[in-house]
Structure 1
């Protein structure tokens, strides 16, 4: 089964890959690795803004991290031509806009992590960081970046 078939089976439609908001590129491919810049959470075309532990409920934070994961997949597909070139998700870095008291960053990051396993199976299992930060670009609630092993054609 191709990854596109898997996405269809899961009822997942990838968003259009977002343009960078500053002086960087969304994906850099260096040999067998793809480095995906931090992706922000867009749900129904709207950026999910706010802070966990304050204005963003836990479930909305998890959904925001999943939305970041979907954008990572969209960026990879745009850069690679096909998600079938993904050999393994190596690492995700999740940055959660949260109060100093908020301690559920790992649960929020699971929104992106679980998506990768849904889509790629065992190849989606990865190392990860889940870090609370006081602010993110554009006021986003979550940002996730990725390192992915890719097949060289």
Structure 2
């Protein structure tokens, strides 16, 4: 998999960045942090547009991919993206969460084709840590190596 990735983010609390059982790996949530280390912050519907939220979700997915690569050594070892949860920092009347989280989903499908298609949830949240725009976590299947 040829993809320019930011450095993997460190956990910001008392938890593991990922856990694995057999060929299934659960990745903890990561925010919309750019390669520069800056985060995309704000509430969708107040501070940010759907397009900006889409980009934030894309960066969250890139951060997940960075964690995958750090653990697996090679993103080609990912055999399937099983589930994505994209939590969107949302103003009370904002209802475009699904379009925002497409930023992550579209990236996984672009990289993995049908193996990147996944089950998904895209809840709106009243607040997220650090006022980050989007946090995504995921469950993946990996080869046995």
If the length of structure 1 is used for normalisation, what is the TM-score? Answer: 0.91
Q: Is 1:16 the equivalent of 2:7?
A: yes
Q: State which of 64, 68, 81 in structure 1 corresponds to 2:60.
A: 68
C-alpha RMSD of matched pairs (Å): 0.8
- CA offsets 1:8-67 (integer angstroms, 9 cap, x no match): xxxxx1000011111111111111111010010012421111100101122111000000
Counterparts of 1:23-62 in structure 2 under 5 Å?
Answer: 23-43=14-34, 44-62=36-54
- Distance, in Å, in 2 between the alignment partners of 1:144 and 1:26 is 12
Task: Give the corresponding residue for 1:133.
Answer: 125
* Structure 1 outlier segments of 4+, above 2 Å: none
How many matched pairs? 144
User: Aligned partners of 2:58 and 2:67: how far apart in 1?
Assistant: 14
Q: Which runs of 5+ in 1 are unaligned?
A: 8-12
Whole-angstrom distance in 1 between the partners of 2:97 and 2:105 = 12
Unaligned regions of 5+ residues in structure 2, if any?
none
